[in-house]
Structure 1
Amino acid sequence: MAETTAEIVLFEGFDELDAIGPYEVLENAAQAGAPLETSLVTLEETDIVTASHDLRVESQGTLGQPDILIVPGGGWTTANEGVRAVVDDGTLPDAVDECYTEGATVASVCTGAMILAEADLLEGRPAATHPVAEDDLEDHAANVVDERIVDDGDVLTAGGVTSGIDLALWLVEREFGEDVASEVSEEMVYERGEVFG
C-alpha cells in the first residue's frame, strides 16, 4: 500500500489542540502500522509559529500536495488574529482550494471551517464548526449541523476544539481500518464521538 501523506497547516494564532490533537492521533496511527506520514506545515517557509495560547511550534516544511489536509481553527472572534486574519488575507483559503482541486481530502477543526468556507468548499454541504462561528458559516451557504464530525466524502468538518481528535480517529478508521483506529484510541485512552454522514 502506498504511503498516505497528511499535512496540518499552521498559521499565526491557530488553536493548539486543533492541530496537535490530530497530529498525535495520526502519528500514533503510523506507529500502529498505518502507512502514513504526517507533517505540521506552513504556507511559507518559517521557523516558528505562535499559536493562540502562545505555544511556539516549529514548522516541518511548507504546504505541498498532501493526500489529506487538516486545517485548524482559532481566533475567529478576534479581529486581525488567527482564522479571522487568514480569511481576510485570502492566501490560505486559495491554497486550500488548490489542494482540494488537485485531489486532497480536506478537513477542518473548529473555526477552521471558515477557511474552508472562504475557499468555497462548503456551499450546500453539511458542515460543523464551533458554536461561535455557526451563524457566519451559514452565511457562506453551508448547511450547519450540530455534530462533532461531519464526513461529506472529500470534505470533512469537526465542531469544537476537542473534536479534532475524533476527526483524526475517524480519518484513521476510514483510511486504514477500524483495528488501527481502535488501537490508537485505546493507546490515547480516548472515547470516540459519533460521525455524521
Structure 2
Amino acid sequence: MADTTAEIVLFDGFDELDAIGPYEVFENAALAGADLETTLVTLEETDMVTASHDLRVESQGTLGQPDILLVPGGGWTSANEGVRAVVEDGELPDRVDECYTEGATVASVCTGAMVLAEAALLEGRPAATHQVAEEDLEAHAANVVDERVVDDGDVLTSGGVTAGLDLALWLVEREFGEDVSSAVSEEMEYERGEVFG
C-alpha cells in the first residue's frame, strides 16, 4: 500500500473532467515515482455513478480516511442535481468535515467548493470556484479570489472544470516534488497556471 492515499469522491451529477482529470494526474504521478494510491469512491456502496454528461463511472470503494480528499463540482445551477443535491442532503459535507478533522488535506474543483463551504472549511479563507457559484461562496464567508488554484495549506480550491488539472499537478508538486509534477505535465502535454497562496 502506498504511503499517501488520495480519494476522489463521486456523486450523481459530478462533472466528469473535475474528477477524471485529477485522477489521471495522480495515476501518472504514481507511474512517475510518487508513492500515491488514488481511488474513486462514493459515500455508500454502489456499482455506478452517472456524471453530469451521462458518463457512467464505476466506484472503486467507499469514502474512508484518505490523506488527500478531492471533491469535484458539477450541477450547482440545477435543482436537485450534482453539488446542489449533495449540499442540500448534507451527508457529503459532514463526511468531508470528518475527514478534515481527522487530518486529511481537502481539495475541491469548480463548484465542489460549495461542499467545502457547507462543511464550514472555507470561512475566512481565500477560495476559488466556478464563476456561477462565486456569489454563493462569498455568502458562506469565504474570501473569493479569481485564481485557478488557491492553496491555503490543508484546504485547496480551484476554479472551473479544467482548473482541476492545475490543482492536481500542484498537489503532486507540493507532496512529491517538482521532478514528478514536471514529468506528469510533459506526459500529459499540459502547461498549468499559477497557484495563489
TM-score by length of 2: 0.99
1: distance between equivalents of 2:45 and 2:170?
30
- Rounded to whole Å, the distance in 1 between the matches of 2:69 and 2:161 is 17
Partner of 2:177: 177
Q: Which residue in the other structure is 1:116 paired with?
A: 116
Residue 128 of structure 2 aligns to which amino acid in structure 1? A
Q: Give CA deviations for 1:38-77 in whole Å, capped at 9, x if unaligned.
A: 0000000000000000000000000000000000000000
> Where does residue 11 of structure 2 map in the other structure?
11
Cα distance, 1:3 vs structure 2: 1.2
The answer to whether 1:101 aligns with 2:96 is no
1:167 lines up with 2:170 in the alignment:
no
Instruction: Report Cα offsets for 1:71-93 as digits up to 9, x if no partner.
Output: 00000000000000000000000
Match for 2:33: what amino acid? G
Question: CA separation in 1, counterparts of 2:40 and 2:165?
Answer: 16
Whole-Å Cα distance in 1 between the matches of residues 55 and 12 of structure 2? 10
Matched residue, 1:37 = 37
Task: Please give the per-residue CA displacement for 1:101-154, whole angstroms capped at 9, x wherever unaligned.
Answer: 000000000000000000000000000000000000000000000000000000
The AA in structure 1 aligned to 2:94 is: D
CA distance in structure 1 between the partners assigned to 2:190 and 2:121 by the alignment:
30
Distance in 1 separating the partners of 2:169 and 2:179 = 11
- Which SS does the other structure have where 2:77 is aligned? coil
**Which residue of structure 1 aligns with residue 192 of structure 2?**
192
Give the secondary structure class of the aligned counterpart of 2:193. coil
Q: Distance in 2 between matches of 1:191 and 1:173?
A: 13
Letter in structure 2 aligned against 1:105: T
Partner SS for 2:70:
strand
The gaps in structure 1 that reach 5 residues or longer are none
Give the SS at the match of 1:63: coil
Residue in structure 2 matched with residue 128 of structure 1 by the alignment: 128
* TM alignment of 1:7-156, pairs within 5 A: 7-156=7-156
Q: How many residues are treated as equivalent by the alignment?
A: 196
Task: Mark the runs of 5 or more structure 2 residues left unpaired by the alignment.
Answer: none
For normalisation by structure 1, the TM-score amounts to: 0.99
Partners of 2:56 and 2:162 in 1: CA distance: 20
Q: Percent identity?
A: 88
Measured on the aligned residues, the alpha-carbon RMSD in Å equals 0.5
